[in-house]
Amino acid sequence: MKTIGLLGGMSWESTVSYYQIINRVVKERLGGLHSAQCLLFSVDFAAIEACQAKGRWDDAADILAEGARRLERGGADFLLICTNTMHKVAPQVAAAVSIPLLHLAEVTADELLHRGMTKAALLGTRYTMEENFYKGVLQQRGIEVLVPDAKDRAMINDIIFQELCLGRIEDASRQKMLSVIDGLRAQGAQGIVLGCTEIGLLVRPQDSEVPMLDTTLLHAVAAAEMALA
């Protein structure tokens, strides 16, 4: 079994889900008392969020790159960035180490195409929805990407940072998110990419008729399978 390097803490609420999913998959595959071999470097999210808010992406990349190097020195065989937004600096993080980086957007594209979905909606932080570092990966794979309008993007961003990252799950926010999802479905979205590792804490597949892809689940399962390959 390979050792998984988890670069987490962004936020720690969703990193918990990564740990649970990875270990559950390993137990299901191997049975008995088996669990995953993994290392976790969990950053101080306040420092990362401050870099995001001020556009200091190079500083954020330096923090994550140092975390990645620590995981490699600790014996990790490959690496995950346990958040969608910080894949904005994935190239810098990957360049800092010699072990592979399992890219979340590539995993998401694989799943969309496996399901025959070529038009999908993307929900996440405003950085993920508005910039090209995530959408571009999907588009390069032939997937058309829809995002909410500016007002809804701001609302979703506020829910993520002011509620979900603080462990608050509000039913009113769930209803707002589902209303946005319904609108994207009406625009032809075949699936909804929950492109923030916290959104899966708020909305679930059974909450809507349109298929939802929980990127935390997809990424963690792919990591477990890579460790067992």
Active site residues: 83, 196
Please state, in angstroms and as integers, the Cα–Cα distance from residue 123 to each residue in 3, 96, 177, following that order: 31, 29, 9
Enumerate long-range contacts of 98-107, CB under 8 Å, 24 or more apart: 98/72, 99/5, 99/72, 102/78, 102/219, 102/222, 102/223, 102/226, 103/137, 104/80, 104/215, 104/218, 104/219, 105/133, 105/134, 105/137, 105/138, 106/137, 107/215, 107/218, 107/219, 107/222
The phi and psi torsions of 163 (rounded to 5 degrees) equal: -125, -65
Helix (H) or strand (E) holding 16: helix 12-30
What are the DSSP E strand ranges found in 19-76? 38-42
